[in-house]
Structure 1
Amino acid sequence: MATPLTADRILAALRAEGLTVHEVRNWRTHNRNHKGAWGPVNGVMLHHTASGSSGIIDACYDGTASLPGPLCHGVIDKAGEVWMVGHGRANHAGGGDPRVLAAVVGESYGDRPPATHEHQGSSGAVDGNSHFYGFECVNQGDGRDPWPSAQHVAMIKAAAALCRAHEWGARSVIGHLEWSDWKPDPRGLGMPDLRTEIAACLKLSAGKWKPTPSGPAPKPSFEQRLAALEKRVKLLEARK
C-alpha cells in the first residue's frame, strides 16, 4: 500500500520515461476527494475511451452530469502524448472484485489476476477509485480501431513510470476488464503481453527502454490459418 504521489512527482516520473506530458487547466486540484478516500493506492488501471479523439480531453476533465470528472488521471492520445486531467480521486474504476485487489496488492498472480465477478453496485464490490491511478487511452474500443505504436509505447511507459515511483512490479497494472465483469477495456490489447513489456521497461533505468524494432509477432489472418490447415491435410493424405 502506498501514499499517492504528489502532482509534481507524477509529472517527474512520466517525463523521466521520455513521455510528452501536458497539464490541463487546474488538474492539480481537480478531483472527487470529497466523495471518498483517495489512497492508499495499489496499482494502475488502463482503459479505452470508447470514443474518437475530438473533445476527449475536455470530456475526461469535465465528465458528465451523471458521472462528474475527472474520469481518469491522464489521457493517452493516439500520438502517445499524456494529458493530465486530475489528481486525487477520479471516477474511472468504480466497483470491482476484492480478490483482484488482493492479488494486485500482493502481485501474487501469474499471467492474469483472478477472474472478476463484481462490478459497480454489486454486493461484494470494493471501491477501485480510491486504490488505482487511471489512464484513459483514446480508442473506440470496438476491436477494430488500431492502437498506434506511439500510443502503445506511451501506455507501457506511463504505467511503468508510476510503478517505478512506487517500487511496484508490472503485476500492479491491470485493465478495467480485469477489475469489473461489466467492462471490456482496453479491448484489442492483451494485458499479459502489456505486463511483460512493462516488466521489461522496469528492468532498465527510467527512459532507457525501447520496444523491439519488429514489435510483437502479428497474428495470422483467417486466410493464412486456412492455408496452413489445407497444407497439413495434404501432408497427412500423402502419408496414407
Structure 2
Amino acid sequence: MATPLTPDRLLDALRDEGVTVIEYGDWRNHDRAGHGGWGPINGVIIHHTVSSGTESSVELCHDGYSELPGPLCHGVIAKDGTVYLISAGRANHAGRGDGDVLSAVVDERPTPSPSEGDTDGNAHFYGFECINLGDGDDPWPEAQLDAIERASAAICRAYGWSAASVIGHKEWTSDKIDPRGFSMRTMRERIDRRLGRAPTRPVPTPVYEPFPGGDFFRSRPRSPIVTAMGRRLVAEGCSAYADGPGPQWTAADLRSYARWQRKRGYSGSDADGWPGRTTWDALRVPKV
C-alpha cells in the first residue's frame, strides 16, 4: 500500500528532481483532514487554474472559495516553473471520478475514457494546479512544462511508478477539460524519459531582465522593471533622482538614463534618455 509522503519527504523529492520550491504558509498542516480519506496514494493529477497572476492564483488555491474550501491542490506551478507547496495532505482537487480510471492507474496501463463519478479522487491523488487561463490561447512556457514534468517525475520516482501514474483532470472525470493547451500523452513521454535517467538540475533562467522594447518606456509605464532599472542607474553613478527610484516612469528616469547613455559614449539624439537594446543589455537590470 502506497502511504502518503511525509512533508519532508515530499519536499526532498521535489528538490532532488531539480524543482524550485517555495513553501507557502503552514503547508505542512494545511489540509482537509476529517473530510475523507488520504491514501492509499496511487498517482498524480495535473490541473489548470483558470486564472492569471502568481500571487492571486496561489492564494486562491490555498484558501479556496465559498463553494470549495482550500487547499485546492498540493502544489501550484507558476509560469516561471516555481512550485508553491500549499498542502501535504488531503486536498480538494480531484473530486469524484471513474473507478475504472483509478484501476488503470494502479495497474499502470492506458486509462479508459471516464464515464462514472463513483470514486473519491482526493483520497488517491496528489494534485498540481498549473497557472493558466485554460482557454487554449494562454501559452505554456517551457519553464512551466519542465516543472510539471519534474514535479510529476519526483513523485513517481519516490514511489517507483512509471509516467502512467500521471493523468490530467479531464482523464479522471468527463466533467473537466483540464489541462488544456498541451498533450498529457506528450507530457507522460517526457516524464518517462526523465525517469530513465538520474535527476538533473534545470538550465538556469536568465538573471537579467530582457529589453522590453522602446515602446514600453515611451508609454510611461508603472512597472517593477522601472524600479530595477533605476536602482542600476544609481549603482552606476547616473542618478538624476531627487526621490526614488520607483515603479512609475518619470522625467527623472529619462534624465538618469541619458546620463547612462553618455557614460557609454553616446551623445546627441543617441543620448536622449529613451532606453535602447544595446545600452539596456549593458546595464544588466536584474530580472523581476
TM-score of the alignment, normalized to the shorter chain, above 0.5: yes
| Conserved? CA contact 1:25–1:85, under 8 Å | yes
Stretches of 4+ moved more than 3 A in 1?
Answer: none
Deviation of the 1:18 alpha carbon: 1.1
Structure 1 Cα separation of the partners of residues 120 and 100 of structure 2: 12
Residue identity matched to 1:58:
E
Q: After superposition, give the CA deviation of every residue in 1:91-120 in whole Å (9 maximum; x if it has no partner).
A: 0000000110000000022xxx1000124x
More deviation in 58-67 or 128-137? 58-67
Aligned with residue 197 of structure 2, among 187, 196, 204: 204
| Conserved? CA contact 1:14–1:161, under 8 Å | yes
Aligned CA RMSD, in angstroms, stands at 1.2
User: How do 1:64-213 and structure 2 match up within 5 A?
Assistant: 64-109=65-110, 113-119=111-117, 125-207=118-200
| Conserved? CA contact 2:76–2:130, under 8 Å | yes
Unmatched segments (≥5 aa) in structure 2: 204-288
| Conserved? CA contact 1:201–1:209, under 8 Å | no
Residue identity matched to 1:152:
L
| Conserved? CA contact 1:50–1:141, under 8 Å | yes
Q: After superposition, give the CA deviation of every residue in 1:146-166 in whole Å (9 maximum; x if it has no partner).
A: 000100000000000000001
Larger Rg: 2
Structure 2 Cα separation of the partners of residues 201 and 91 of structure 1: 28
TM-score, normalised relative to structure 2: 0.69
Structure 2 Cα separation of the partners of residues 59 and 208 of structure 1: 29
Q: Is 1:34 paired with 2:27?
A: no
Unmatched segments (≥5 aa) in structure 1: 120-124, 211-240
Other structure's SS at 1:33 match: coil
Structure 1 Cα separation of the partners of residues 46 and 185 of structure 2: 13
User: How do 1:18-57 and structure 2 match up within 5 A?
Assistant: 18-53=18-53, 54-57=55-58
TM-score, normalised relative to structure 1: 0.82
Structure 1 Cα separation of the partners of residues 104 and 140 of structure 2: 28
Other structure's SS at 1:41 match: coil
Deviation of the 1:207 alpha carbon: 2.0
| Conserved? CA contact 1:200–1:209, under 8 Å | no
